[in-house]
Every structure is written in C-alpha cells, then in structure tokens.
C-alpha cells in the first residue's frame, strides 16, 4: 500500500493531536532560543518543564489547545479555553487563528491576535493584530484579517490591522501602526501618531 493511501486512511483526530504537540514543541524551542537563561535550541526534559510552566508557554499552550478544539469542531470548548487564556494571561487570541510553529510571546499581557501567521512569530506586550472592524471569535471573515509571514516580530504596543500582508522576516517596532502591506525583510521602527483612519 502506498504512503498516499496510508495518509488518506489516517485518523484526522490523531493528526490534529500530533500537530498540536509538534507546534507546542516548536514554541518551546523558540522560547529557549530567545531566553538567555536557557542554552541551546533543544532543551533537556527538566528545562522543558521549566519553560512550559512560564506564563509565555502556558499562554501558547492554551492557544494551541483552543485551536485544536476548534479544528475538531468543538467551538464552544475552543472559546472557553481562549477565555481562560484571557482571564489568566490577559491575552486575546482567536481560537480560529492559524499560527505556525515557534510562537513566542515573552510577556503575554495585552496581546491581541486575530488573523493568520507563519512560523516563528514573536508578539510583544500589548501587540495587536486585528481586522479593521470588530469581528466575533471563530466567526469566519479571515479575508478581513492580517496575514503575517515567517520570522516576523511585532513590537510592544504595535498594531497591525486590516487585510494587510506582512512579509517574511519583517520587524515591526514598538508603537508602530501598520495599515498597509509590508514588504519582506522590512524594518518599521518609526511610530505613527494619532488614530488610523480606515481607507475608502
């Protein structure tokens, strides 16, 4: 029997579980790489436990659980887990948000994310990635949300909103407001003053 046939007959729930575990492992590796207190890209078991118990990784783990539940169609459970994340870490992450491996949130307080992102996303305190207009959690409308590429860092109090594309390896500095597409390998470090006005 071919590998393709085996893939077709695989249990989707098992695939979701494996994906959740792999994503969280990648999150831990990114944390270990960024945190000076840990050495190496692949921490040992005791270090891994220590990392997992930090607010940063607990926040990531709760989102991974919420997203896994959402993927199985358990929308109420997904929203409940996301609500726990909000209460405990003061973080708002849509359970439907597609975030690739290596999510890094050093200080979860105030982080808001409703969109899609590639691998190795870094979200700093009070960073916000949102649609232009309020949209219910898990309510669809992905085309109205930002799309973030791979290896992107969004600084403290930076805001990315609307259906924009932020290219790979871009750096959004603190207090920067992004309402237009950002080319790959960009570094936006000049804060924009005043509220952003929606374009016609």
pLDDT tens across 142-163, in order? 778 999 999 999 999 999 999 9
Classified as helix, coil or strand, 23 is: helix
Residues contacting 170, CB < 8 A, separation 6+: 149, 152, 153, 182, 183, 184, 185, 186, 187, 188
- H or E element at residue 60: helix 55-71
Identify the pLDDT of residue 6.
38
Identify the pLDDT of residue 24.
86
Identify the pLDDT of residue 1.
36
Identify the pLDDT of residue 110.
95
Q: How far apart are CA 150 and CA 153, in angstroms?
A: 9
Which two three-digit tokens encode residue 17?
Answer: 């579980």
Identify the pLDDT of residue 136.
66
Q: How far apart are CA 65 and CA 62, in angstroms?
A: 5
Identify the pLDDT of residue 5.
35
Segments of the chain with pLDDT less than 50: 1-17, 40-41, 193-200
Q: Find the angle CA(138)-CA(89)-CA(161) to the nearest 5 degrees.
A: 50
Bridge partners of 187, per DSSP, are 171
Q: What domains does the chain contain, in order, with CATH numbers?
A: 11-188 (2.160.10.10)
Identify the pLDDT of residue 198.
42
């Amino acid at each position: 029997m071919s590998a393709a046939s085996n893939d077709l007959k695989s249990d989707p729930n098992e695939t979701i579980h494996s994906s959740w575990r792999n994503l969280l492992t990648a999150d831990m590796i990114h944390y270990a790489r960024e945190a000076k207190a840990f050495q190496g890209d692949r921490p040992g078991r005791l270090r891994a436990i220590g990392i997992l118990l930090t607010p940063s990784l607990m926040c990531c783990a709760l989102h991974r659980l919420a997203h896994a539940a959402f993927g199985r169609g358990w929308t109420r459970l997904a929203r409940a887990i996301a609500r726990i994340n909000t209460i405990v870490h003061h973080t708002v992450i849509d359970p439907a948000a597609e975030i690739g491996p290596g999510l890094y949130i050093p200080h979860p307080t105030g982080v808001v994310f409703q969109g899609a992102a590639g691998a190795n996303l870094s979200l700093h305190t009070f960073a916000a990635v949102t649609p232009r207009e309020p949209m219910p959690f898990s309510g669809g409308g992905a085309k109205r949300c930002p799309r973030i590429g791979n290896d992107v860092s969004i600084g403290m109090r930076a805001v990315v909103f609307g259906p924009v594309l932020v290219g790979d390896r871009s750096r959004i500095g603190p207090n920067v407001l992004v309402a237009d597409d950002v080319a790959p390998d960009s570094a936006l470090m000049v804060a924009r003053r005043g509220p952003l006005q929606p374009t016609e």
